[in-house]
Structure 1
Amino acid sequence: MTRIFGIAPGLEEMETLARAALAHLPEQFAAHLGHVVLSVEDFADETLLREMEIEDPFELTGVYEGLPLHLKSIDRSGDMPDRIRLFRMPILSEWIDRGDETLEHLIAHVLIHEVGHHFGLSDETMHLLEEEAR
């Protein structure tokens, strides 16, 4: 993405990029994401940061909130919908710090990480898969 210096993408543009990344997921994954709510916010709220024991809001680029697929059952009705929240300012900060990849690639990376949680993968498993893919 070519960007004029000094102009950062807003929430709507970041959401558009995230939805484009979702649209490129293989069908076997995308088929299980239809009810997952996607939102982009500037930062995680204080409650979430406290729950995750994160002091610096720039340390959290995204979060999956919900019950992983392998734990869902017919007995669990009335739960809030699963959601993936991406945090614009931490993503932009990481993008600037890295300097070696496109914003689209970083957004896709964060989104896919959160999608992995929806499928029940741990952070450790996702890191191992990423290493194997290199």
Structure 2
Amino acid sequence: MEISRKDFNAAVREAIAGLPQKFKDALQNIAITTADEPTKEQLESADVGHGELLGLYQGTPITKRGFSFAGELPDVITIFRGPHERVCHTRKELITQIQKTVLHEIGHYFGFDDAYLHSHGY
């Protein structure tokens, strides 16, 4: 399933816009970006094995930030287009997966680990 970069970026923006307001209000000092493919360094840092890296959170979860956190560079969430295209077969499946990936990576920002997120469908 292929999607244009423009449509992919729009789907990511829509996934963010669809978040409950209380979660959007809590997102501070974070950038959410897109990329076609993860870099070698991103793949190594995520340790995904043989699977596809759909998204990546890089930063300090809010549950681990102390008083000295002020002035830090923003955390970054990157959502990857190519891996989404490879794991999805229909446009509906792709849009749903983008939404799940965005929620999953934002979950890391809020301090949830992969085991917890996967057990809750993200």
- What range is the shorter-chain TM-score in? 0.7 to 0.9
Runs of at least 5 residues in structure 1 that lack an aligned partner in the other structure: 1-5
1:39 aligns to what? 33
What are the equivalent positions in structure 2 for 1:94-133 lying under 5 Å apart? 94-96=87-89, 99=90, 101-130=92-121
Is 1:19 paired with 2:28? Answer: no
Identity of counterpart residues, as a percentage? Answer: 26
2:29–2:73 CA contact under 8 A, matched in 1? no
2:32–2:76 CA contact under 8 A, matched in 1? yes
Paired with 2:70 and 2:106, the residues of 1 have a C-alpha distance of 21
Q: CA RMSD in A?
A: 2.3
Paired with 2:103 and 2:48, the residues of 1 have a C-alpha distance of 21
Judging changes above 3 Å, is the alpha-carbon distance between structure 1 residues 100 and 64 closer, same or farther for their aligned structure 2 residues?
A: same
Larger radius of gyration: 1
1:3 aligns to what? none
Question: Which residue of 74, 77, 91 corresponds with 1:81?
Answer: 74
CA drift of 1:128 comes to 2.1
Runs of 4+ in 1 over 6 A off after TM superposition: none
Tell which has more relative contact order, 1 or 2 (C-alpha 8 A, sep 6+).
2
2:46–2:56 CA contact under 8 A, matched in 1? no
2:55 aligns to what? 62
What count of residue pairs does the alignment treat as equivalent?
A: 122
The TM-score with structure 1 as length reference comes to 0.79
2:46 aligns to what? 52
The TM-score with structure 2 as length reference comes to 0.86
Instruction: Render the CA deviation track for 1:7-26: whole Å, top value 9, x for unaligned.
Output: x3222321111111111111
